[in-house]
Amino acid sequence: MNDILPIAKTARIGSLEAGRIAYGCWRFAGSTEPEARAKIDAALSIGSKLIDTAAIYGFGAEGFGAAESILGSLISMSPELRDQIVLVTKAGIHPPAPYDSRADIVIRSCEASLIRLDTDQIDIFLIHRPDLTTSFDEVARALMELRAAGKIREAGVSNFTVTQTRALQSKLNFPLIATQPEFSPLCTDPLEDGTTDIAQELGLALMAWSPLGGGRLVNGVREDPSSVEGRVVAVLKDIALRNGAGIEHVALAWVLAHPATGFALIGTQTPDRILASAAAYDIQMTRRDWYAVLEASKGKRMP
């Protein structure tokens, strides 16, 4: 029997569908318009329609929205772009609080995002991090109001625990559609903290952030076999060699091969690396390969 883990190229998110390698705009601020357009074009050319941003991305002297504004300027210049992407943005991180999900704050953040992104509706609107000082009733009220007004199409959570996700869901009159945790060969917490389980239970599209460990897997990799990076990279290299691919593509394939994963959000600012990432879809990863990466990450064999 074939022991290769299947890696589908697209996934559904609500009524929408997009390539499972998705593009994240965290590092987007500072790009010129032509540079930003080249990155989005590279993403679209490999089917990466899902574009993830947040009000806080690029936060600086001018406040919120630097990354959203760049994407918005591309949409303003080429309005047809809006229909070509599945637009994800987030609210709720407010330095120095650091989090604020009071209803008025979330609603105003969404409205400001709509203006910056030059659009009438956010496809998927996420609460960026749980605000422990605001009740789930109040967060739900904000999301229901935004959805009833047509300002957001669907909603989800990011960096929420399983019980926080359930608590928010219990207060909503519509189903959450996504969860966005950190997940990579260097961050395997979602496999054990219940995040991948609740995603399957509730039918949430899991969007894995920093699937290359924010670059730790590829930048200045430590060869030290006693470090988690060293152990993981050694296993990734072995699989990469057999596949004629880069370790970054194997890492992406590892994330995508988990049955709960909907999307892997890559964040490179290099169009050629965006294009090359499609190699992840072709990685032939056996079940043994997948567990070998997990064992290397945990530093111990499976029981």
- Is 113 or 210 the residue whose CB approaches ligand NAP more closely? 210
CA–CA distance, 253 with 8 (Å, rounded to integer): 10
> Which residue in the block uniquely carries the two structure tokens 């152990």?
231
Q: Using CB under 6 A, which of 21, 265, 279, 294 touches ligand NAP?
A: 265
CA–CA distance, 117 with 67 (Å, rounded to integer): 9
Query: Could you please report the per-residue DSSP string of 86-124?
Result: EEEEEE-B-TTS-B---HHHHHHHHHHHHHHTT-S-EEE
60 bridge partner residues: 63
State the nearest-atom distance from the C-beta of 147 to ligand NAP, in Å: 20
- Is 47 or 214 the residue whose CB approaches ligand NAP more closely? 214
Tell which positions 102-161 bind ligand NAP, by CB under 6 A.
Answer: 128, 158-159
In 251-270, which positions are buried (b, 16+ CB within 10 angstroms) versus exposed (e)? Answer: bbbbbbbbebbbbbbbbbee
Q: Using CB under 6 A, which of 139, 176, 218, 236 touches ligand NAP?
A: 218
Write each residue from 153 to 182 as x if it is in contact with ligand NAP (CB under 6 A), else as -, in one continuous string. -----xx--------------------x--
User: For ligand NAP, which stretch binds (CB under 6 A), given 10-18, 74-82, 193-201, 204-212?
Assistant: 204-212
- Is 3 or 193 the residue whose CB approaches ligand NAP more closely? 193
261 bridge partner residues: 206
- Is 65 or 211 the residue whose CB approaches ligand NAP more closely? 211
Write each residue from 227 to 256 as x if it is in contact with ligand NAP (CB under 6 A), else as -, in one continuous string. ---------------------x--------
- Is 227 or 270 the residue whose CB approaches ligand NAP more closely? 270
Cα–chain center distance at 220? 24
Active site residue 281: no
User: For ligand NAP, which stretch binds (CB under 6 A), given 32-40, 68-76, 107-115, 260-268?
Assistant: 260-268
CA–CA distance, 117 with 36 (Å, rounded to integer): 14
Q: Is 219 in the site for ligand NAP (CB under 6 A)?
A: yes
- Is 91 or 107 the residue whose CB approaches ligand NAP more closely? 91
Cα distance between the two ends of the chain: 24
Tell which positions 10-39 bind ligand NAP, by CB under 6 A.
Answer: 24-27
From 57, 99, 281, 291, active-site residue: 57
Query: Could you please report the per-residue DSSP string of 156-196?
Result: EEES--HHHHHHHHHH-SS---EEE-B-BTTB-HHHHSSHH
One-letter amino acid of 103: A
Asked if 128 contacts 56 with a C-beta cutoff of 8 angstroms, the reply is yes
State the nearest-atom distance from the C-beta of 46 to ligand NAP, in Å: 14
Q: Using CB under 6 A, which of 58, 65, 185, 213 touches ligand NAP?
A: 213
Asked if 204 contacts 177 with a C-beta cutoff of 8 angstroms, the reply is yes
State the nearest-atom distance from the C-beta of 160 to ligand NAP, in Å: 10
Count other C-beta atoms under 10 Å from residue 34's C-beta: 8
Q: Is 297 in the site for ligand NAP (CB under 6 A)?
A: no
Indicate the burial class of 224 (C-beta count within 10 angstroms; 0-12, 13-18, 19 or more): exposed
Q: Is 211 in the site for ligand NAP (CB under 6 A)?
A: yes
Instruction: Tokens for 289, please give them.
Output: 């390969």
**What is the binding site for ligand NAP (CB under 6 A)?**
24-27, 52, 128, 158-159, 180, 209-215, 218-219, 248, 265-270, 273
Would you please indicate which residues are annotated as catalytic (active-site) residues? 57
